[in-house]
């Protein structure tokens, strides 16, 4: 049972434009939500998180939005850069970490 | 400081064999968790250890087991390997389980191929 879902396996965006990665979850008891980035042959690295009591968290070019009523979060990357090309996993925490299946982002120069 | 170290990085086994993977967490981190990554399934939680005790376990069969030593190093074992066990196995460490900060530090993974 996939409690965290990323319905878009891949996304292509032109350099300089906005990348929007989406994630849906089913459990309203999750208290933290996170995004991780993974390059090939490397482990995932933490990118940004948001507490369930907030609806937005910003860190430089990265902003995460949380819509609790819709059980939906999104990651915005503005402006997108070729180095952002990677697989992005969203995750939620309860008694363990629940990860989505990942979205492969390609930023085209 | 040194990151999370996983060994071996790559290994090939045949069905029915068993395998042991090792993870050395970041110094000072007491929580170690393990994940299986397969195409289309994302990262599936296997188990989490804190101070040598298993605190949480994911939905995997009993063939998957683990342990943590007093120096926080952890091992996971998979017995009676099946073809479907072919995956990237990732270890992550954190000061605690990272629930409040959400921050896990991952190793590069051990790529297991079962033939």
Question: How confident is the model over A67-87, as pLDDT tens digits?
Answer: 999 999 999 999 999 999 999
Q: Which residues of B touch A91 (CB under 8 A)?
A: 43, 102
- Give pLDDT, residue B100: 59
Average pLDDT over residues A2-23: 95
* Terminal alpha carbon distance of chain B: 37
Beta-carbon-side half-sphere exposure of residue A104 (alpha carbons within 13 Å): 7
Structural contact between residues A35 and A97, judged by C-beta atoms closer than 8 angstroms: no
Contacts of B97 in chain A (CB under 8 A): 96
pLDDT class of A41 with cuts at 50, 70, 90: confident
Residue A2 has what pLDDT? 81
- Residues 37-76 in B contacting A (C-alpha not used; CB under 8 Å): 40-45, 48, 56, 58
CB contact under 8 A, B99 and A45: no
pLDDT at B42: 82
Question: Which has the closest alpha carbon to A94: A52, A46, A44, A37?
Answer: A52
Measured between CA atoms, the residue of chain A closest to residue B90 is A43
Q: Between chains, do B98 and A96 touch, taking CB under 8 Å as contact?
A: no
Phi-psi group of A28: left, alpha or beta (phi > 0 → left; psi -120 to 50 → alpha; rest → beta):
alpha
Contact B33 A46 (CB under 8 A): no
Q: How far is A47 from chain B (nearest CA, A)?
A: 9
pLDDT mean over B6-33:
95
Task: Say if the Cβ atoms of B44 and A6 lie within 8 Å.
Answer: no
pLDDT of the residue at A10: 95
- Owner of token pair 């507490």: A51
B100 with A32: Cβ contact below 8 A: yes
Q: What is the DSSP letter of A72?
A: E
Contacts of A99 (CB under 8 A, 6+ apart): A4, A36, A89, A90, A91, B35, B42, B43, B44, B45
pLDDT value of residue B97: 61
Per CB-CB distance under 8 Å, the chain A contacts of B58 are 96
Q: Are the C-beta atoms of A20 and A86 separated by less than 8 Å? A: no
State yes or no: pLDDT of B102 exceeds 80: no
Q: Which two tokens stand for residue B26?
A: 């970041």
């Amino acid at each position: 049972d996939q409690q965290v879902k990323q319905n878009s396996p891949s996304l292509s965006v032109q350099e300089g434009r906005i990348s929007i990665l989406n994630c849906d979850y089913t459990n309203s008891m999750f208290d933290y939500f996170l995004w991780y980035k993974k390059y090939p042959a490397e482990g995932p690295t933490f990118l940004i998180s948001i507490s369930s009591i907030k609806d937005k968290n910003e860190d430089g070019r990265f902003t995460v939005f949380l819509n609790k009523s819709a059980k939906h979060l999104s990651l915005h990357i503005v402006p997108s850069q070729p180095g952002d090309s990677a697989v992005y996993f969203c995750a939620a925490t309860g008694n363990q970490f629940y990860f989505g299946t990942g979205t492969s982002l390609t930023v085209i120069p | 400081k040194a990151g999370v170290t996983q060994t071996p990085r790559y290994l090939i086994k045949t069905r029915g064999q068993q395998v042991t993977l090792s993870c050395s967490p970041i110094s000072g981190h007491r929580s170690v968790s393990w994940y299986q990554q397969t195409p289309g399934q994302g990262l599936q939680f296997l188990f989490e250890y804190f101070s040598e005790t298993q605190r949480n376990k994911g939905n995997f069969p009993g063939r998957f087991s683990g342990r943590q030593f007093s120096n926080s190093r952890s091992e996971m074992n998979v017995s009676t390997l099946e073809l479907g066990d072919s995956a990237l196995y990732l270890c992550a460490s954190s000061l605690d389980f990272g629930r409040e900060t959400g921050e896990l530090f991952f190793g590069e993974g051990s790529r297991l191929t079962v033939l």
